Amino acid sequence: MIQVNGGICAAKGFKASGIHCGIRKNKTKRDLSLIYSESPCTAAAVYTTNLVKGAPLIVNKKHLQNGKAQAIICNSGNANTCNANGIEVAEQTADYLAQALNIDADDVIVSSTGVIGLPLDVEPIKNGIPKLIKELGDNSKLAAEGIMTTDTKVKEIAIEFEIDGKKCRIGGIAKGSGMIHPNMATMLVFITTDCKISSEMLQKALSTDIKETFNMISVDGDTSTNDMVTVLANGEADNKEITADDDNFKIFMKALNTVNVYLCRRIVADGEGATKLLECKVSGAKELETAKKCAKSVVCSALTKAAMFGSDANWGRVLCAIGYSGAKVDVDKIDVKFKSAKGEILVCENGSGVDFSEEKAKEILLEDEIEILVNLNSGDYCSVAWGCDLTYDYVKINGDYRT
């Protein structure tokens, strides 16, 4: 299993494009993206748990009832959420693209991201579709740019793996910087693969993996209204179709997990105003759910996030977050370490502080990737969660988001 170039275009038969169609005022920013497979695909998706859902998600749930799709179109700059005609606009978008590509409208996945409650004019999308199709090619990066909102960095990856002697590839792009919080994939992630896999097993793979990846990240504690993770598999690698939970399915799961973990890390590292990626590793738990609750609570803690921004080894905030996580732990057994490229330091042992060098701790926490290592010393289960620091710029970005 190796990393390769190409993003969502690394898999056979997939093309992509990204253009500026006029939704966003800034003409230098792309605001419409297309991902297209030359052949029909099995498809799977997971959606935000927010009760307020963007119109595209409602349309997509209907379109994906048969587990099939062939194209994804996504606009940025407008979420198409809480609009009286939102569903109509989403369906029109699918219809216009389907007509232009000569495919069924039910095989189009529609997505929107941006400001909530602002009516979305479908005309720029309609007028941009011919150019979007004309520029289809090996343009994963352009498509990734077209789905960005407050993101500052493109997020894409591709992995090559082998099943039954056939080389398969899986690639993904993502957007996500704010409104990122566990319980579903609170961002947009589009994944493509040429591996042949049934829609049932594709959905099982995705639904299983997000529990350990996209459900384990947090930037700000806000769960978005629009976001989803979707996978298209066109089978062009010509491997024997995966239809059961066998060894080949496990290989596919490993490849999918590699893509998802990478995108998780890139999303939180690019959190709004963030300067540091935080990775909390919890070990020694009695149960998996205990480990997950503790890890998620630590990366969600505003006080811990602020301490990491200030490179302050305030380990008490880590214990505090574990204490209110709802997990049943023996606080008198907890050890905490901070780790980075500059080294590792023990700051808490058996639930109490230990003598440590503040200078060394500061040096470790000044790095841009920090590991918070928690050992509950009560069992064999472990879990990982990802987050970022909380900075002045987060407030600035969100204080004038619409203006």
- Cβ-contact 357, 329 below 8 angstroms: no
**pLDDT number for residue 184:** 37
Q: Could you tell me if 185 and 331 lie in one domain?
A: no
Residue 389 has pLDDT above 80, yes or no: yes
Read off the pLDDT band of 186 (50, 70, 90).
very low
pLDDT > 70 fraction of the chain, expressed in percent and rounded? 94
Residue showing tokens 């407008």 = 78
In terms of Cβ atoms closer than 10 Å to its own Cβ (0-12, 13-18, 19+), residue 346 is: middle
Residue 214 has pLDDT above 90, yes or no: no
Length in residues, the chain: 403
Q: How far is CA 293 from CA 217, 302, 317, 323, in A?
A: 12, 16, 15, 10
pLDDT > 90 fraction of the chain, expressed in percent and rounded? 74
Q: Could you tell me if 253 and 296 lie in one domain?
A: no
Q: Could you tell me if 195 and 219 lie in one domain?
A: yes
Domain finish residue from 235, 251, 269: 269
Q: How many whole angstroms separate alpha carbon 231 and alpha carbon 192? A: 6
186 is known as an active-site residue: yes
- Cβ-contact 190, 4 below 8 angstroms: no
**pLDDT number for residue 366:** 97
Beta-ladder partners of 17:
34
Q: How many whole angstroms separate alpha carbon 301 and alpha carbon 398? A: 19
Read off the pLDDT band of 153 (50, 70, 90).
confident
Q: Could you tell me if 261 and 288 lie in one domain?
A: no
Set 186, 223, 230, 391: catalytic member: 186
Overall average pLDDT of the 65-94 stretch: 93
Q: Could you tell me if 140 and 96 lie in one domain?
A: yes
Query: Which pair of tokens denotes residue 338?
Result: 């901070």
Domain finish residue from 247, 269, 291: 269
Residue showing tokens 């300067």 = 275
Overall average pLDDT of the 190-219 stretch: 93
Q: How far is CA 300 from CA 96, 306, 360, 366, 376, in A?
A: 41, 11, 25, 20, 19
Residue 381 has pLDDT above 80, yes or no: yes
Overall average pLDDT of the 262-269 stretch: 89
Q: Hey, is 352 helix, strand or coil?
A: strand
**pLDDT number for residue 310:** 95
Write the pLDDT tens digit of every residue in 157-180.
999 999 999 999 999 999 976 554
Q: Could you tell me if 223 and 310 lie in one domain?
A: no
Region for residue 54 given its phi and psi (left: phi exceeds 0; alpha: psi -120 to 50; beta: otherwise): beta
Q: How many domains does the chain have?
A: 2
Q: How many whole angstroms separate alpha carbon 160 and alpha carbon 327? A: 38
**In terms of residue numbers, what domain contains 391?**
277-399
- Cβ-contact 239, 166 below 8 angstroms: yes
**pLDDT number for residue 400:** 66
Beta-ladder partners of 156:
173
- Characterize the bridge pairing of strands 108-115 and 335-340: unpaired
**pLDDT number for residue 322:** 96
Cβ neighbors of 359 (< 8 A, separation 6 or more) are none
Residue 235 has pLDDT above 80, yes or no: yes
Question: In the predicted model, what is the mean pLDDT of the chain?
Answer: 91
Domain finish residue from 244, 269, 294: 269
Overall average pLDDT of the 145-161 stretch: 91
- Characterize the bridge pairing of strands 343-349 and 352-353: antiparallel
Overall average pLDDT of the 272-286 stretch: 92
Q: CATH code at 286?
A: 3.10.20.340
Write the pLDDT tens digit of every residue in 121-132.
999 999 999 999
Q: Could you tell me if 250 and 326 lie in one domain?
A: no
Q: Could you tell me if 231 and 135 lie in one domain?
A: yes
Residue 253 φ then ψ, to 5°: -60, -40
Closest by alpha carbon to 403, among 25, 4, 80, 47? 25
Closest by alpha carbon to 72, among 213, 185, 188, 222? 188
Q: Could you tell me if 65 and 183 lie in one domain?
A: yes
Q: Could you tell me if 115 and 231 lie in one domain?
A: yes
**pLDDT number for residue 47:** 85
Residue 72 φ then ψ, to 5°: -130, 130
- Cβ-contact 37, 70 below 8 angstroms: yes
Overall average pLDDT of the 169-192 stretch: 74
Q: How much is the pTM?
A: 0.85
Q: Could you tell me if 281 and 261 lie in one domain?
A: no
**pLDDT number for residue 220:** 57
Overall average pLDDT of the 196-208 stretch: 97
Q: Could you tell me if 292 and 386 lie in one domain?
A: yes
Q: CATH code at 138?
A: 3.60.70.12
